[in-house]
Structure 1
Amino acid sequence: MSTTAEENEPPEIKVSETASEKALALLEEENLDTDTAGLRLFVQQGGCAGLSYGMRFDDSPEEDDTVYEHHSLRVFVDPASIGYIEGSVVEYETGLQAAGFDIENPNVVSECGCGESFRT
């Protein structure tokens, strides 16, 4: 059974209103039900600094996920990733050269030069 963030004690993972709106629009484009589906945020081995972020859409949370909800967007985080990203904020940024999701993670002690991977 998935748990809510309140039942776990780690600092909450937050999602900005802009990021939530963009993710919800993408979920709807994929014909996923925003009442049950959500954004999966995870950490995986890789990159020159050792760890990298991953994001994808899932139909529903896994049994052991922590589930957050911000601005009607559900965010699923697995137990192996939560310690690396607790307290993070997911933003959506636009610029002259690119637009995309960005994670502000207070646990990061160093990042690679390109910013694609990190170490805690």
Structure 2
Amino acid sequence: MSTETAEGSARAPITVTPAAADEALSLLNSEGMDTDVAGLRLFVQQGGCAGLSYGMRFDNEPEDDDTVTDFHGLRVFVDPASMKYIGGSTLDYESGLQAKGFHVENPNVESECGCGESFRT
């Protein structure tokens, strides 16, 4: 398992904004999960009109081959296959009149579908 922290790393495999970390930690706490061990899993799966889509879920602990990063107290788990597609991405949380939710800003994307739910690299 590869482990990095936001502090002191030259470039983390992914980045999480303070707003996204705060929201995810709040959700983890509301689920009664131990934030010292549990975390947010960010992954890529087949699907959507552009071919790939993002997925997120809470896991109680990382898998052995996960890259684990820590941002603002939030542990983030990414499996090696997903890292190929989302390395260098930023996870943000938007809360406004037009949209509310998590958003992945991925520099590897060549095209996205019209609704922004799926992508192609």
Give the % identical residues: 67
**1:28-107 to 2 correspondences below 5 Å:** 28-107=29-108
Who is 1:14 aligned against?
15
Deviations 1:19-39 (A, max 9, x none): 000000000000000000000
| TM-score scaled by length of structure 2 | 0.92
Q: Is 1:3 aligned to residue 33 of structure 2?
A: no
Measured on the aligned residues, the alpha-carbon RMSD in Å equals: 1.6
Offset at 1:4?
1.4
1:73-98 Cα deviation digits (max 9, x unpaired): 00000011001000000000012143
Query: What do residues 58-83 of structure 1 show as CA deviations (whole Å, max 9, x unaligned)?
Result: 00000110001100100000011001
User: Number of matched residues?
Assistant: 117
Following the alignment from structure 1 to structure 2, what is the Cα–Cα distance between the partners of residues 18 and 110? 26
| Contact 2:16/2:92 (<8 A) preserved | yes
Unmatched segments (≥5 aa) in structure 2: 6-10
SS of the equivalent of 1:55 reads: strand
How far apart are 1:104 and its partner, in Å? Answer: 0.2
Moved more, 79-88 or 96-105: 96-105
CA distance in 1, matches of 2:35, 2:13: 21
The Cα of 1:5 is off from its aligned counterpart by 4.0
Question: Structure 2: which amino acid aligns with 1:70?
Answer: F
Runs of 4+ in 1 over 3 A off after TM superposition: none
